[in-house]
Amino acid sequence: MDKWQVDDAYRLKKIFSERSELSQEAFGDKFKIGSQGMIWQYLNARTPLNLAAAIKFAKGLRVKVSDFSPNLAEELAQPPGSGRTQHEPNGERTDDLYLWDSNTPLGEDDVDLPLLEEVELSAGNGVCEAQVNYNQKMRFSKSSLRRCNVDINNAVCVKVTGSSMSPVLPDGSTVGIDTSKISITDGKMYAIDHGGMLRVKYLYRIPGGGVRIKSFNSEEYEDESYSKEQAVEIKIIGRVFWHSVFY
């Protein structure tokens, strides 16, 4: 077993002892992880923690996967079929962002971005319109946007609804969109206007000018393939450069 897997087990065991109100047996049964023996093996590094179990532990303990397994958190952020070595962070510092109102002064390194919230951007079947919530905006540090190579004038934040991108983007997640990035790079996540439906999906090019749309939750949402003629209804709003998730 790799050292990082042992370290994951140590961190998870510590969090479990501090946060779990259930016994190992009850916890494993409630969150569909396995028997008491399986829980014990995960916590004591007898069995390597896998991504599916890590997500369930995180949900049950009300923490993020990254709190006990940075490696699995990176894997969780990958598009389907990607390897860990291909991981490219798209916004690792959630402390660079927070909600504010018109009475909150901007810091020297701060910038406020529009927040589309009243009619939410959907990661499922979509809604027909997105509107700016003028009472709230999302605040980023300018240095964070520079790290992501995002121009302030091309950045907007939106709320995501639906389960098609879960668990990468659970219902209620927030994403940052770079509206200058409208050319498809295979396997990247984009916000699109698809015949009046606003959606967040992984996009892939198809020979002949077509487009394939992929959801992370592929068990419930099948891939969608569109020919060049059909793809004219797909307008790319921008590429997702950042997302915030609470598990």
Give helix then strand counts, H and E, for the chain.
Answer: 6, 10
Give φ, ψ of 87 to 5 degrees.
Answer: -65, 135
Q: Which residue has the higher pLDDT, 118 or 158?
A: 158
78, amino acid identity: Q
The fourth-level CATH superfamily of domain 94-244 is Umud Fragment, subunit A (2.10.109.10)
Third-level CATH fold of 3-76: 434 Repressor (Amino-terminal Domain) (1.10.260)
pTM of the model: 0.55
The pLDDT tens digits for 11-64 are 999 999 999 989 998 898 888 888 888 898 889 888 888 888 888 899 899 998
pLDDT at 116: 56
Please check whether residue 149 is in contact with residue 111, taking contact to mean a CB–CB distance below 8 angstroms.
Answer: no
Strand, coil or helix: 159: strand
Q: How many C-beta atoms surround the C-beta of residue 149 within 10 A?
A: 10
Kindly indicate the confidence band of residue 96, based on its pLDDT and cuts at 50, 70 and 90.
very low
Round to whole Å and give the CA distance between 51 and 58: 10
pLDDT digits (tens, 9 = 90+) for 176-215: 899 899 999 999 999 888 887 778 899 999 999 999 999 9
The domain segmentation of the chain, as residue ranges, is 3-76, 94-244
pLDDT 10s digits, 214-227? 998 888 899 999 99
Domain 3-76 and domain 94-244, same fold? Reply is: no
Residue 137 Cα to chain centre, angstroms: 20
pLDDT at 243: 80
Mean pLDDT (whole number) for 77-101? 41
Residue 24 CB contacts under 8 Å (≥ 6 apart), including other chains:
36, 39, 40, 43
Percent of all residues in the chain with a pLDDT value above 70, rounded to a whole number:
75
DSSP labels, 206-221: ETTTEEEEE-S-TTTS
Give exposure, 71-95, as e/b (b: 16+ Cβ within 10 Å).
bbbbbbbbbeeeeeeeeeebbeeee
102, pLDDT greater than 90? no
